[in-house]
Amino acid sequence: MSGQKGNNDPVILATAGYDHTIRFWQAHTGICYRTVQHPDSQVNALEITPDKQMIAAAGYQHIRMYDLNSDNPNPVVNYDGIQKNVTSVGFHEEGKWMYTGGEDNTVRIWDLRTRSLQCQRIFQANAPVNCVCLHPNQGEIFVGDQNGKIHIWDLKTDSSENLTPEKDASIQSISIDPMGTMMSAINNKGMCYIWTLSGGRGTDPVKVHLKNNFEAHSKYGIKCLFSPDSTLLATTSADQTCKIWRTADHTLMTELKENTQRWVWDCAFSGDSQYIITASSDNMARLWSVESGDVKKEYSGHQKAVVCLAFRDEFVQ
């Protein structure tokens, strides 16, 4: 297979981390078909644009956009002029704008339609931003910072509220389920919080109601993510595991553990919620069966820790 993904392959899987490369894989074979150099820094976060034309790589003081459908090794768009690490990147569902968060205590919105490369709007937090999550209604951005606050930034009114689940515990990751009815956050103490969400229609702001909190991991929590069908929640940790929880009762369904895995940094579900891919410090990404906990495929080739991945398959609308 050449560097091209090929129009007949609807699956995009990319991984990156500390070895300054982004690798693209055939998800079903485990073969790496393209490696893009990212020489400026490590890659902290990856996200595929909604139209599947480009991938955004967030690094130290920049975001680089690479073309998914050509062999061009160079970024096609560069966003620079940011202080410190960019820790989070994502897109409006229609691709109108991109949002980023970072250790400069800001969340930024970039208009993708003008190509002006100028940041359009900035939300200022009082601490480094670890994670940013867009509500499915596309109108509210949830921001997790190192001081333990979750900020809810209303894009329509430009106002914000915040909540602090636990003092002095850094919010590492936030996820909102595709239905927009649940929110999860995990902190650096391994505690997982679940809220029910209401409102968020029209001018009605989202209201947040704490439903449960539990120790998901005995060590540092890193990532939480709802499955596309909203029935599962994945959490990853420095304890070398990814755990799959049932959202109905928050009981543990599966623990994904591999002897060499070390820290598990990132994860992504398949569109049918049957499989999950993880990225870990042992330089590997893995495809697991959610139900059985078996490793179905390993993606081997990175020379250092894999800390982020992006995955889209044909089930994603």
DSSP assignment, residue 166?
S
Distances (CA, A) of 120 to 15, 100, 110, 185: 29, 12, 5, 27
The answer to whether residue 40 sits within a structural domain is: no
The answer to whether the beta carbons of residues 287 and 256 sit under 8 Å apart is no
Residue 29 forms part of a structural domain? no
Could you report the per-residue pLDDT of 70-84, keeping only the tens digit for each? Answer: 989 999 999 988 999
Query: Average per-residue pLDDT in the chain?
Result: 93
Rounded Cα–Cα distance for residues 280 and 298 (Å): 11
Residue 122 lies in a domain: yes
Looking at residues 281-310, what average pLDDT do you find? 96
Considering only CA atoms, which of 264, 267, 312, 265 is closest in space to residue 55? Answer: 312
Residue 69 lies in a domain: no
Cα torsion through 146, 107, 266, 240, rounded to 10: -10
Q: Give the pLDDT confidence of 35-73 residue by residue, as tens digits.
A: 999 999 999 999 999 999 999 999 999 999 999 999 899
Residues of the chain above pLDDT 90, percent: 86
Here the CATH number for the domain that contains residue 120 is: 2.130.10.10
Residue 253 banded pLDDT, cuts 50, 70, 90: very high
Tally of domains in the chain? 1
pLDDT at 289 over 90: yes
- Residue 9's pLDDT is 64
Nearest to 105 by CA among 81, 122, 117, 80: 122
Stretch 93-122: mean pLDDT, rounded? 90
**Distance in angstroms between the alpha carbons of the first and the last residue of the chain:** 26
DSSP letter for each residue of 88-126: EEEE-TTSSEEEEEETTSEEEEEETTT----EEEEEE-S
pLDDT value, residue 115: 66
Residue 181 structural domain: 92-312
Q: Rg of the Cα trace of the chain?
A: 18
Q: For 114-146, write each residue's pLDDT tens digit.
A: 767 778 899 999 999 999 999 999 999 999 999
Give the model's pLDDT for residue 81.
Answer: 82
8 A C-beta contact, residue 142 and residue 152: yes
Question: Does 23 reside within a domain?
Answer: no
Q: Taking CA 71 as the corner, what is the angle to CA 13 and CA 16, rounded to the nearest 5 degrees?
A: 35
Question: Phi then psi for 201, rounded to 5 degrees?
Answer: -105, 135
Is pLDDT of 8 > 70? no
**57 domain-assigned:** no
Pairing of strands 54-58, 182-187: unpaired
Distance (Å, whole) CA 112 – CA 95 = 7
Summarize the confidence of residues 160-175 as an average pLDDT.
96
Residue among 240, 224, 151, 153 at smallest CA distance from 187 = 224
Examine residue 160 and state whether it is found in any structural domain, yes or no.
yes
Residue 7 pLDDT > 50, yes or no?
no
Q: What is the mean pLDDT of the segment spanning 12-35? A: 96
pLDDT of residue 315: 52
Q: Rounded to two decimals, what is the model's pTM?
A: 0.94
* 64 inside domain: no
Q: Which amino acid is at 38?
A: H
pLDDT of residue 3 exceeding 60, the answer is no
Q: Give the span between the Cα atoms of 195 and 213, in whole angstroms.
A: 9
**pLDDT tier for residue 183 given thresholds of 50, 70 and 90:** very high
pLDDT at 10 (0 to 100): 79
